[in-house]
Amino acid sequence: MKNIFLCEDKSSIDWVYSPEIRKKISCYDCFCRKDLTKNTGLFRDTQYIFSTWGMPELTSEEIKNIFPALKAVFYAAGTVQYFARPFLENGIKVFSAWAANAVPVAEYTAAQILLAGKNFFSLCTKQSAGRLSDAEAVKKRIIGNYKTKVGIIGAGMIGKRVIELLRPFKLEILVFDPFLPPETAKKLGVKTASLETLFSECRIVSNHLANNADTRGIINYRLFSLMKEDGVFINTGRGAQAVEDDLVRILRERPDITAVLDVTDPEPPEKNHPFYSLENCLLTPHIAGSLGNEVLRMAEYMREEYESLLQKGSTRYEVTLKMLETMA
């Protein structure tokens, strides 16, 4: 079989890859990890693997022994950090639909930023509870979305997309990203700044950092304590990047501050976690990424990559070993 699906959950394949896409990529059979050890010889001619959430981890030896003819893996989802390295080290190309998954994450984030500019979260909580005088006080402090400073932590695929979506609103955007070249910042129309500057000058701060050892716990009490009045912290990156005990502490000390969290560590938060009872903490169950019809976009991106690779040899979303160092 030249092309196969490889995934621990066949329902994920059925969800992401429509019948039309399957026909275009000539891929119909789905296998899981246990199938590989049962039928080792079955995959000796396999050249292309298609997958999505649920792609199994394989060792370098397993890849060599089971897939000697493999040329590429097409992953219709976001991060490939957990499985890609052994494939890349064996000279097998890996493609990810992270750009497709970035679209709804950026849309979600941009929406939260614009609502934050209207003090929506604090106002909604107070108005809905009938605390009209409190709501009126918050309403008087609204600064709106014109020339308001917004901080973007991490200008990777998602961060850049957020910046592009916000461009029509004439916001002043500051970016923290040690890997962002000055010429790229200029092209994006943003100013680079330190984390301290972002948290002290921006009313709204949104996290989009890659998830690695250097970024875990990077957002802490010292930074949270710098936030402006009615500040809003949005996290669609990874929960581990914020020290959650520090976030709980500042939310208790500063009820004017709001946290909008689509990611936590772990997910969901443990039972009786303070996040559930804090009025100024809004949780969503990791919905920023592709859901519903949005998942079809990821398969479409991988279909385009597959066809480009076969027809032209040029592609847009190939992942390299170097890229793994900074990818989410």
Domain ranges of the chain: 3-100+292-324, 117-283
Q: Which residue, among 264, 281, 284, 258, has the nearest Cα to 108 in the 3D structure?
A: 284
CATH superfamily for 117-283 is NAD(P)-binding Rossmann-like Domain (3.40.50.720)
Q: Which residue, among 204, 146, 151, has the nearest Cα to 175 in the 3D structure?
A: 151
Evaluate the omega torsion of the peptide bond into residue 266 and state whether it is cis, within 30 degrees of 0: yes
Give CA torsion, residues 247, 215, 155, 78, to 10 deg: -100
Question: Beta 48-51 vs 3-6: how paired, if at all?
Answer: parallel
Q: Which CATH number fits domain 3-100+292-324: 3.40.50.720, 3.40.50.1100, 3.30.2010.30, 3.40.50.300?
A: 3.40.50.720
| C-beta of residue 294 within 8 angstroms of C-beta of residue 103 | yes
How many Cβ atoms from other residues are within 10 Å of residue 78's Cβ?
23
% pLDDT > 70, the chain: 100
Rounded to the nearest 5°, which phi and psi values hold at 2?
A: -70, -45
Partners of residue 270 on adjacent β-strands: none
Using DSSP, state whether 161 is helix, strand or coil: helix
Structure-block tokens of residue 198: 């972002």
| Model-wide pTM > 0.85 | yes
Concatenated DSSP letters of 194-227 = -HHHHHHH-SEEEE----STTTTT-B-HHHHTTP
pLDDT at residue number 233: 98
Stated as kind and residue range, the H or E segment containing 305 is helix 294-311
Stated as kind and residue range, the H or E segment containing 172 is strand 172-176
| C-beta of residue 326 within 8 angstroms of C-beta of residue 156 | yes
- The sign one gets for the Cα dihedral 11, 13, 15, 18 is negative
pLDDT at residue number 105: 97
pLDDT at residue number 3: 98
Residues of the chain with pLDDT under 70: 328
pLDDT at residue number 213: 86
Structure-block tokens of residue 147: 């020339």
pLDDT at residue number 36: 94
Distance in angstroms between the alpha carbons of the first and the last residue of the chain:
32
